[in-house]
């Protein structure tokens, strides 16, 4: 392979789309903590002085949407007028209906269960049709692509130095971007680092650039990957005072590439935030990451992408595909068969194995859903490696007989 550049971006928790993601998942967390069997599909829009919460929720509990929303906004840092948006004074509008009975019929009793396959793990059907992808590679310790891994770390560090009052002039909105140079498919250097951050009006761009290089970029970007030709761009427009929902409308689910692999792997199109785990857009994407990570961790491939597809109301996936991009230690067909043997990819089994009926979701709504070993989430565990190796050996031995 020739040399090439690949770029991924991340955004801070104060980005207007991420504000909406966090509100959606905070509402989900509150409801699922009280009612683990609830069906939740909650979306949020944010604009100047206003939050609109909408969606379909079926639950036995009561959730104070207004209070949950304001708490999230204030915790992000939009809690005073100079930030341009204020959780204490903004309007909060709620438009919530119950889940469509036509959808819940297939979720609560799958096609297989209705056809007489009365295994309890067949009871839950997929909450929608669709395709989901999971990916892993050996570029970083957490088995994520390097560009998105560094972009997330920069965004998180940018928020940390604001919240820890190290750089008091920073405001919640911000973006990061990292361009990595590859040679023969391996990352060899950082070509460009870009940070844009909201700030107070009275600080100079030179001060921001100097402070962010010292307090954000240098602690995060490995020095051995930078050289004299690495470009560092901080607030290249020269001004970013107006930010957050006051500058740009936010919407749940509009940062799906940030949430996954930074564009390095394919994405099925479904967003995560605000959806309970019967929605395979979320749970099956986590399961696909889990399976892909275990394949790479086991040494069966250096890179692995898994595609799952589902039909609404049907428990078993329609298809399971593994692509190792030529790095597999055996054929991709063998890896696909091994995944099917080792991982039960029916929604109820995914929910059981990954323990998804818990209030774990708001913490994922910024800085990525994948590679989050810092949060201890179950789909980042490499606890099926030996089972995969055993399954591959059995399949290969059977093929030889």
Convert the pLDDT of each residue in 198-210 to its tens digit: 999 999 999 999 9
Whole-angstrom distance, CA of residue 293 vs CA of residue 301 = 10
Task: Tell which residue, 90, 122, 94, 126, has the closest CA to residue 107.
Answer: 126
Cβ proximity of 40 and 28 under 8 Å:
yes
Whole-angstrom distance, CA of residue 106 vs CA of residue 97 = 18
Extended beta strands in 184-296, E state: 186-199, 231-234, 250-251
pLDDT tens sequence across 165-199: 999 999 999 999 999 999 999 999 999 999 999 99
Whole-angstrom distance, CA of residue 13 vs CA of residue 361 = 14
pLDDT tens sequence across 354-367: 999 999 999 999 99
Answer yes or no: is pLDDT of 346 > 90: yes
Instruction: For residue 113, name the pLDDT band (cuts at 50, 70, 90).
Output: low
What is the DSSP code string of 109-144? Answer: S-HHHHTT---GGGSSPPSS-EEEEEEEETTSTTS-
What integer is the mean pLDDT of 157-163?
Answer: 98
Q: To which H or E segment does residue 58 belong?
A: strand 50-58
| pLDDT on residue 186 | 95
Cβ proximity of 378 and 354 under 8 Å:
yes
Answer yes or no: is pLDDT of 105 > 70: no
Whole-angstrom distance, CA of residue 369 vs CA of residue 196 = 22
Whole-angstrom distance, CA of residue 86 vs CA of residue 88 = 5
Whole-angstrom distance, CA of residue 324 vs CA of residue 2 = 19
Angle between the N-to-C axes of helices 347-354 and 280-297, in degrees from 0 to 180, rounded to the nearest 10:
60
| pLDDT on residue 356 | 98
CA dihedral over 291, 34, 70, 280, signed as positive or negative:
positive
| pLDDT on residue 111 | 59
pLDDT tens sequence across 23-72: 999 999 999 999 999 999 999 999 999 999 999 999 989 999 999 999 99
CB atoms closer than 10 angstroms to residue 135: 24
| pLDDT on residue 106 | 58
Whole-angstrom distance, CA of residue 271 vs CA of residue 385 = 28
What integer is the mean pLDDT of 333-348?
Answer: 97
* pTM, 2 dp: 0.94
Answer yes or no: is pLDDT of 154 > 80: yes
Instruction: For residue 109, name the pLDDT band (cuts at 50, 70, 90).
Output: low
Instruction: For residue 371, name the pLDDT band (cuts at 50, 70, 90).
Output: very high
Task: Tell which residue, 56, 126, 125, has the closest CA to residue 94.
Answer: 56
Mind spelling out the 3-state secondary structure of 356-368?
CCCCCCHHHCCCC
Task: Tell which residue, 380, 364, 356, 392, has the closest CA to residue 294.
Answer: 380
pLDDT tens sequence across 224-252: 999 999 999 999 999 999 999 999 999 99
Q: In what order do the strands lie in the sheet with 303-310?
A: 130-137, 303-310, 319-323
Instruction: For residue 102, name the pLDDT band (cuts at 50, 70, 90).
Output: low
């Amino acid at each position: 392979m020739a040399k090439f550049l690949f770029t991924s971006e991340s955004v801070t928790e104060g980005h207007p789309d991420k504000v909406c993601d966090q509100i959606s998942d905070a509402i989900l967390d509150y409801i699922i903590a009280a009612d683990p069997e609830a069906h939740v599909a909650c979306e949020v829009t944010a604009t100047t002085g206003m939050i609109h919460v909408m969606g379909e929720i079926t639950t036995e509990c009561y959730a104070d949407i207004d209070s949950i929303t304001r708490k999230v906004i204030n915790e992000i840092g939009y809690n005073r007028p100079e930030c341009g948006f204020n959780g204490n004074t903004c309007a909060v509008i709620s438009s919530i209906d119950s889940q469509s009975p036509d959808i819940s019929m297939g979720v609560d009793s799958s096609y297989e269960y209705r056809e007489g396959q009365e295994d309890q793990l067949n009871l839950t059907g997929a909450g929608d049709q669709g395709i989901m992808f999971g990916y892993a590679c050996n570029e970083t310790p957490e088995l994520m692509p390097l560009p998105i891994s560094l972009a997330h770390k920069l965004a998180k560090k940018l928020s940390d130095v604001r919240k820890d009052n190290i750089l008091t002039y920073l405001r919640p909105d911000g973006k990061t971007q990292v361009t990595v140079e590859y040679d023969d498919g391996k990352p060899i250097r950082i070509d460009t680092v870009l940070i844009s951050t909201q700030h107070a009006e009275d600080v100079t761009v030179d001060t921001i650039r100097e402070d962010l290089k010292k307090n954000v970029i240098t602690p995060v970007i490995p020095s051995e990957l930078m050289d004299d030709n690495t470009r560092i761009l901080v607030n290249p427009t020269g001004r970013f005072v107006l930010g957050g929902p006051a500058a740009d409308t936010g919407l749940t689910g509009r940062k799906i590439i940030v949430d996954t692999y930074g564009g390095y792997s394919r994405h099925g199109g479904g967003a995560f935030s605000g959806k309970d785990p019967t929605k395979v857009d979320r749970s099956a994407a986590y399961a696909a990451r889990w399976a892909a990570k275990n394949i790479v961790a086991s040494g069966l491939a250096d890179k692995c992408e898994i595609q799952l597809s589902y039909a609404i109301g049907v428990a078993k996936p329609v298809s399971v595909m593994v692509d190792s991009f030529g790095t597999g230690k055996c054929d991709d067909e063998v890896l696909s068969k091994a995944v099917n043997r080792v991982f039960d990819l029916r929604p109820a089994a995914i929910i059981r194995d990954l323990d998804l009926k818990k209030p774990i979701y708001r913490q994922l709504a910024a800085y990525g859903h994948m590679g989050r070993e810092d949060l201890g989430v179950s789909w980042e565990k490499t606890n099926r490696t030996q089972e995969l190796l055993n399954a591959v050996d059995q399949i290969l031995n059977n093929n030889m007989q």
